Amino acid sequence: MKLQLALDLVNIPEGIALVKEVEQYIDIVEIGTPIVINEGLHAVKAMKEAFPNLQVLADLKIMDAGGYEIMKAAEAGADLVTVLGVSNDMTIKGAVEEAKKQNKLVLVDMINVSDIETRAREVDALGVDYICVHTGYDLQAVGQSPFEDLRTIKRAVKNAKTAVAGGIKLETLPEVIKAQPDLVIVGGGITGQADKAKVAAEMQRLVQQG
């Protein structure tokens, strides 16, 4: 089980400073969609150069032109790139083919997928590396959590690894771990804390215990 830190609301220097605080406790650093919109793929390149030992995920939420956008993210140094589960199968196929060429990984984000179980099976068959249950900010605000969907996907998926994101905090992490995802994605649960290193260290300890 791995721990991914999601950075969403920072610029490049702030992001690098934040990762320095928790670098030893995380496996993957995510350049979130808001950063990509604000800063472009330069943010991915800067993060990979600053932390060559960490994997960097570019949260592009690809919806079209899968192969091309994976290629551009790979050029910037991304190790993993996100594609939306609601996108067309051809887009996901193109992304997977390009990622294999570039020796990169594709994570399919299931945000807003209505039939999670069926789509997880379909996406799994397309050869993606991770399938991620994701409760978005807007749904978190009305109290939704990703745990039940994670259990559903774990039952449906044969090949891909599973990931979970959406409002995970230290106090809810044990419940997440019980569902045995391969990747736990945490944003504000670390970045919003006063002692980020302490919280990240405790999360890493729980994740490694599995």
| pLDDT tens-place string over residues 55-112 | 999 999 999 999 999 999 999 999 999 999 999 999 999 999 999 999 999 999 999 9
31 bridge partner residues: 7, 58
Quote the tokens at residue 1.
């089980």
pLDDT-derived band at 145 (thresholds 50, 70, 90) equals: low
Is residue 58 a contact partner of residue 27, using CB atoms and an 8 Å limit? no
Is residue 160 a contact partner of residue 129, using CB atoms and an 8 Å limit? yes
3-class secondary structure, 151: helix
> What mean pLDDT comes out for the span 6-32?
96
Which range in 17-26, 127-136, 172-181 is most confidently predicted, on average pLDDT? 17-26
Quote the tokens at residue 142.
């009305």
The CA angle 55-98-90, to the nearest 5 degrees, is: 120
Helix axes 66-75, 89-102, angle to 10 degrees: 30
Residue 133 confidence (pLDDT): 93
Instruction: Report in angstroms the alpha-carbon separations of 191 from 1, 26, 154, 159, 176.
Output: 20, 12, 28, 32, 19
